[in-house]
Every structure is written in C-alpha cells, then in structure tokens.
C-alpha cells in the first residue's frame, strides 16, 4: 500500500513491505488472567496484517533468549526475502525489564539490541516493530477531572552508513514507572483497543497514526482498579525513516 499524504504519494515515502513479514509473539500466561484472550487477539491481528509468526508461551529466560536469537538468525538467513519484523512481548514487567517465568528478569534493551543494524543486518532500513504489553513500574495514575464528558550534512564518505539503531518502532502500554492494565476476561487494554481499531478501519493508517488512534481510545475510556479510577496512556518511541502500512 502506498503512502497517503496531502502531497503527491511517492513510493519512496513508504517501506516496501511486499516481502515476507515475520513476527515473534511471546506471552507469559501464568498469574496473568486475560492473557489467553490477548494471544487470541494478537494471533488474529498478525494474520490480518499478513505476518508469519512464531509463538513462545510461558518461557523461562534461557528459552526466551534462545528462541529470540533463533528467530533473529532466521531473519538473517532470508535477508533478501524479509521486508519487516514485529516482536510482541506480553508479560509482567518493571522499569526496563520483563518479568517472566520464576520471576526472572529480561532486559528490554538487550532484546532491542538483538535486532539492531549490527546484529541483524537483514533488517537494515527495514521496520522493526516492538509491541510491549507489560507494566513499567508500580505507579498508578488516577487521572484528573476535566470539563469534558467522560470518555545538511555534507557527505564525508562515499560508503553509506546507518545509525546502529534505526527503523525501530516501539509501543508501550503505559508511561514509564507506571502499571499497565489487563482485564481477566477481555485481556489487556492496549491489545483489545488495537484489534477494535483495526477491525473498524483496517490498514488505512501509517503505524504511528494507527497507534495514535488506539491511544485516543484508551485515554478516553474509563477504567477502574479495585473500584478506584485509573488512567493509562500509550507511549511510542520511533526511529522510523518511512511510513509503515500493513
């Protein structure tokens, strides 16, 4: 799909996603009521977005890192075929880390580094998307009342160079140091909103605009934790250099 902009659309404005789209889906289900629903919704969404995906359920640290390494190495083996990569990680968490089986910690930065331009050359100038569904701390935001109704650098080398970390898009379900929300029946707030927005609008938006729409839904929905109001806002980090349309 070509970019949709106010000016004339140009092929070079978008990443070329005509090649294979590979995804990795990890979910810790233990002591996370609603996570089964998250897996179902993510499987549907990945299929709708034409991703081939590898699942990793309830791993320990060693298994997770081994499977991620194998997934990454597999991408490097099909360098000319792959067009993008998407990694979804759903678990308990804290600042900068995932908490997985047996309360082991896995650094998110370590995972991100596995797919950078040095370690995964197959993804140079190709989108690397990370969907993180995990708490980032213990803080809770009860929200505030409003009046609204509820709801030129000159070339110095002939050889092309890239930053080590480029073409990344990372979405978090909450602000730094804050909890994420998950319902025991309907699953995680962000995952549910993602699938609802996609069902309503399909792939009409660039991924940043898509998650902006998802965030709008999340921000303007009322949530309660132990009968106390609680609010969350998604956080996006991006080093993308083109538009991403699935």
Average pLDDT, the chain: 89
Domains of the chain: 20-136+163-239 (3.40.50.1460)
206 catalytic residue (yes or no): no
85 belongs to the catalytic site? no
DSSP structure class, residue 147: S
Residue 24 host element (H or E): strand 20-27
173, 132 Cβ separation under 8 angstroms:
yes
Of the candidates 23, 2, 17, which has an alpha carbon nearest to the alpha carbon of residue 88? 23
**pLDDT per residue over 75-132, tens digit each?**
999 999 999 999 999 999 999 999 998 889 999 999 999 999 999 999 999 999 999 9
Q: What is the pLDDT of residues 30-58, one digit of tens each?
A: 999 999 999 999 999 999 999 999 999 99
User: Quick one: how far is CA 86 from the chain centroid?
Assistant: 7
Catalytic hit among 92, 120, 178, 220? 92
Give pLDDT, residue 147. Answer: 53
**Catalytic-role residue among 56, 135, 178, 206:** 135
């Amino acid at each position: 799909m070509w970019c949709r902009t106010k000016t004339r659309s140009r092929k070079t404005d978008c990443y070329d996603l005509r090649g294979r789209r590979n995804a990795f889906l990890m979910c810790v289900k233990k002591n996370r009521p609603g996570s089964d629903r998250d897996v179902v919704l993510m499987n549907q969404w990945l299929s709708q977005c034409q991703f081939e995906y590898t699942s990793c359920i309830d791993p320990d640290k060693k298994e997770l890192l081994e499977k991620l390494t194998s997934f990454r190495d597999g991408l490097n083996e099909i360098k000319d075929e792959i067009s993008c990569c998407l990694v979804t990680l759903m678990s308990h968490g804290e600042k900068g880390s995932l908490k997985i089986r047996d309360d082991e910690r896995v650094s998110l930065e370590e995972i991100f580094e596995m797919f950078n331009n040095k370690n995964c050359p197959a993804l140079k100038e190709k989108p690397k998307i990370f969907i993180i569904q995990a708490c980032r701390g213990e803080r809770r935001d009860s929200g505030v009342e409003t009046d609204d109704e509820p709801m030129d650098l000159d070339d110095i080398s002939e050889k092309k160079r890239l930053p080590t970390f480029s073409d990344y898009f990372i979405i978090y379900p909450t602000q730094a140091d804050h909890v994420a929300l998950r319902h025991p029946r309907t699953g995680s707030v962000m995952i549910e909103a993602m699938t609802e927005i996609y069902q309503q609008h399909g792939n009409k938006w660039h991924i940043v605009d898509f998650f902006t729409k998802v965030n709008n839904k999340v921000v303007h929905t009322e949530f309660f934790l132990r009968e106390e109001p609680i609010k969350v806002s998604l956080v996006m980090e991006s080093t993308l250099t083109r538009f991403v349309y699935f």
